[in-house]
Structure 1
Amino acid sequence: MRKTFRHPHAFAALLLTLLAAHLGGCATSAAQPSQAEFDAVTPAIDTDHNSAQEHNSPLEEVVHEQYSDVWEKIQHANTIDVHDDAEVRKQRNFFDDKQKFMTQVAQRAEPFLYYIVSQLEARNMPLELALLPIVESGYNPLAQANGPAGLWQMIPSTGRNFGLTINAAYDGRKDALASTDAVLDYLQHLYNTLGKDWINAVAGYNSGELVIKAAIDRNKAKGKPTDFWSLNIPARQVQTVPKWLAFIQIIRSPNHYNLKVMPIANRPFLERLPAPNGVEIGQIASAAGLSKAEFKTYNPGFRQNIIPGKGKYKIALPIENIGQYQENQHQLAKAKHYDSQSYIVKSGDSLGSIAAKFDISVKELKQANNLTSDRIKIGQELTLLMPMGTEAEQHSASAKSNTNASSSKNTKEPTVKQTENFTVKASTYKVKSGDSLDKIARKNKVKLADLMKWNNLNAKSVIKPGQELKLSE
């Protein structure tokens, strides 16, 4: 079972503060969604990114310490002004008395909520944003819709554009801590771009930046205000917003809606450490004194039963298990029996031909990629787990060497134009296989927001090999 931190007086303190909380608006008898809709995971659509601000005054440190429960901090933030809106009331009515759901949300949020709130504090962003995963995924980091995934329900292009690694062995969108860092960058960008209005930012996160920007431009042209409530965006385009605002009111006064919120201790739960490449997850869990299921609860980003053999990854462990893990870490070398690499399916490939090419069995190939059938698609990325020190590894190294040699022959286009006396930085960049907007921005030392602006792109834009991007205005 998952280990938890508890403060025995936290819930009593929460009830006392709730008695003083104020909730705007009143309940209505509007038609409510079905139970099936309630039980379903609600996907979101994504869009953009940017900065972080820190604030740590002595006064703020005192305020920080007065809360034993993280929910209390969110409850007293009062950063977001919730209007008495019909759609918001409808959502409040729907979740009224849904105690089973609230209990499940709190249990899922427990390992991650402190981290999310602390990151919001460090960036001087509204703490109420920590409630978004409730309506996006029910705080389930494994939630998977048709495209969006994870706590925050990011789509792949947005995840990659904001620095997340997504491959056959690991999905950063399902890594609750890594995805939080990316999403907060994204929301900060939306806030900066969409009139410095946090509700506009959440609306842009839901419907897409361009939809909200167009509404803002229309209002500006008519001399009207550009806050969310003045944009009059149809509710069907921003379904996440009224749900999120409803939960802000619910968390501010849960007893008013016949709900109790399980306290979550206001202190760190998880700590991130470098992941040991090529080690089986079961071995890491055992070294830390956790079950495999517990380890996967804290590290849902890993898609396979082994840490990728190459690349830098992190694992999250409960702080109380760190000491035990460090004591047993020397034993993990025994588990390093496999190396991993990715393979892109080409025309004419089959599982049998791929397995034969790399001297592994079809069964191993299917297990490594969680495949239940033999069907694969051109362009699909597969993970290859191969015994280290075997012909397969040599084959891999040889293939990589050939690929690099071929790549060097084909990469004749210079990124820098030189003259006898000075060097001129390239003004354009040709997209290569594996590139993302974030990677291109870092490689060329430009801001991601600028790169997107210069090329009329947003976080959902898909770039393709051979595409040419501007690197300046």
Structure 2
Amino acid sequence: MKKFVVLAFGFFLSNGMFAQEKQEITPTLFTPKVTYLDSLKATFKNHETSTCIDERWLKEISDATLSNEMFFDIENMNIDEKVAYDLDTELLKKRLHKLDVQSPFIIEYNPALENVIKSFLKNRSKSFERQMALAEYYFPLFEEKLSKFNLPLEIKYLAIVESALQPKAKSRVGAGGLWQFMPATGKQYKLNITTYVDERHDPIKSTEAACQYMINMYEIFGDWSLVLASYNCGPGNVSKAIRRSGGKTDYWEIRKYLPKETANYVPAFLATMYIYEFKKEHGLVPHKAQMTYFETDTVMVKHAMTFKQLSDLLDISEEQLEYLNPIYKSKYIPSIDNEYFYLRLPKNKIGIFVSNEEKIYGYLVYLEQEKIRNLQLAQIRKRDSIAKQDSIAVASNSKFKVDENVEYEEVIKKRTKEVVSKNYYKVKKGETLSEIADKNNVSITNLRQWNKIKGSNINAGQSLVIQTTKKVTVNEVVKKPKPKTEIVEPQVEDAVAENTTKPAENKYSDAKSKLEVKEDYYIVQKGDSIFSITRKFPNLTADDLKKKNDLKSDNIQPGMKLKIQG
């Protein structure tokens, strides 16, 4: 028993000793490198943490399955087929009547509508709960624009049917955005579509375009259900359906003459309206939006930039930037003369951007210079590689060896250049070109030239370009011979040339000089090669020099002492 206790004690003691030894080993600590970006952000004013969209929620609201499900239902649903779901028909009729009284839309009970409502409640309840978070984000914007154009607020539900509130939703036929404009229709309603930008995905501009379309269609048909049908299949198809029905203008009476998708479209809209208005009665629990549209704001951008650069500068994820700015196709905000591009951010990030705008643009200029520098370095390396290959090719056909001893390094040389930037001045009432030129310290001639003005006529509210020139420091890559570590040896030339050393040092130099002359040694100088040294001694070949000094290759270093004779 005692033996066991002693062994056990020894075991715990040894463990303690090992633990103590481990604690004494201090790991090497590395201080993270502070980058220019870190230094810049440390100077930002109002640099506080903002309430940003949670990644999980961002992924959920950006999930394309929401829009894909809606597209599939509208294209493939058989709304005349009965659906088994516990919803009393009489109760449904009462609720639909209540909606009808409150709305300019004709909302009457119809068996097909009942089937769609039951199908959505049975199969898509979870999707609707997720969409309700998006509705909390977008509906205030939709309601503001619909009110501005004096349109029924219920039209906001159409965006759910069109895109499931996915700003980057795209249909199989090429329609895009919250309101699913085809490219040609989008351009017709002044939505800009270029390589970098697609305003069909801009929530504000596309909503205004949708409102204008609704107004135009209502002037033609005078019935909101027919307006919705024309939004889906075009006014031409609706007019054909009316003619084929014998001139009837009730949606439910012309429905069978419409394309299949449109035949399901209006019932899907009315079913969506019903589910949103009676969500509590059906036990739906809406997901909560972490941010509303009015908790964001826009700032005009004066320099091209990527979402990655903005993410690094403002500490906001690229995914959130993409969600807030779906208009930009390649996560890139361009800079084009006479065009303005806007960036949408959470409001407290707007404060950071505006307070530090010049620093941000300065950083972007720095990144551009770095990119140019790296391209220059790559070109130099490419030229060096080609030159080296050419040298090897020449050497293989020559009895001489190519000098490969001189190494080069890439040196960054700073120089000053002038950078022209554009600002804009808004003409005030009564101002003249002369007054504006004086205010901005520019000449009238330049002012006319920049704005292509022939005379002196300008109008109040007109924007004039004012160019300013700044001097900035840029980096230029220069290639120089790379200094090598030299072997410290007294050299004959130095000993002879300099006579200011102490007597003892002179004595040593003299002795060294005599030794070198007697034994015919040569001290390798910077830039020397085997070939260049043999040219200094007519009777000496490269092979002889290497043999005398036991050199296996042509590599020599400054300061080396080479035997020439003996």
Give the TM-score normalised by the residue count of structure 1.
Answer: 0.52
Percent identity over the alignment is 23
Task: State the match for 2:113 in structure 1.
Answer: 88
Question: Which SS does the other structure have where 1:163 is aligned?
Answer: coil
Distance 1:114 1:320, change over 3 A: farther
Could you tell me which of 295, 309, 328 is aligned with 1:269? 295
| Counterparts of residues 268-347 of structure 1 (less than 5 Å) | 268-310=294-336, 311-333=339-361, 334-336=363-365
> 2:278 corresponds to which letter in structure 1?
S
Query: 8 Å contact 2:335–2:341 — kept in the other structure?
Result: no
Residue 254 (structure 2) pairs with residue 231 (structure 1): yes
Could you tell me which of 196, 208, 219 is aligned with 1:169? 196
Distance 1:178 1:272, change over 3 A: farther
1:277 Cα deviation after fit? 3.8
Could you tell me which of 177, 184, 187 is aligned with 1:160? 187
In 2, Cα distance between the equivalents of 1:103 and 1:291?
25
Distance 1:200 1:323, change over 3 A: same
1:302 Cα deviation after fit? 0.6
> 2:350 corresponds to which letter in structure 1?
I
Q: Whose Rg is larger?
A: 2
> 1:121 corresponds to which letter in structure 2?
S
Could you tell me which of 191, 197, 202 is aligned with 2:218? 191
Deviations 1:267-314 (A, max 9, x none): 823333323341222333455552221111111111113211213222
Question: Which SS does the other structure have where 1:272 is aligned?
Answer: strand
In 1, Cα distance between the equivalents of 2:102 and 2:51?
29
Gaps of 5+ in 1: 6-35, 46-73, 339-358, 360-473
Which 10-residue stretch deviates more, 310-319 or 84-93? Answer: 310-319
Question: Which SS does the other structure have where 2:298 is aligned?
Answer: strand
In 1, Cα distance between the equivalents of 2:129 and 2:169?
17
Task: State the match for 1:40 in structure 2.
Answer: 69
| Counterparts of residues 71-470 of structure 1 (less than 5 Å) | 78-97=103-122, 98-146=124-172, 147-193=174-220, 195-217=221-243, 226-234=249-257, 236-238=260-262, 239-262=264-287, 268-310=294-336, 311-333=339-361, 334-336=363-365
1:249 Cα deviation after fit? 1.0
| Greater relative contact order structure (CA < 8 Å, 6+ sep) | 1
In 1, Cα distance between the equivalents of 2:271 and 2:104?
14
1:138 Cα deviation after fit? 1.3
Distance 1:165 1:178, change over 3 A: same
> 2:357 corresponds to which letter in structure 1?
Q
> 2:182 corresponds to which letter in structure 1?
I
> 1:294 corresponds to which letter in structure 2?
Q
Question: Which SS does the other structure have where 1:40 is aligned?
Answer: helix
> 1:206 corresponds to which letter in structure 2?
N
Query: 8 Å contact 2:175–2:183 — kept in the other structure?
Result: yes
> 2:251 corresponds to which letter in structure 1?
F
Deviations 1:113-142 (A, max 9, x none): 211111111111111111112122211112
Distance 1:289 1:116, change over 3 A: farther
Query: 8 Å contact 1:199–1:241 — kept in the other structure?
Result: yes
1:163 Cα deviation after fit? 0.6
Distance 1:137 1:309, change over 3 A: same
> 1:308 corresponds to which letter in structure 2?
P
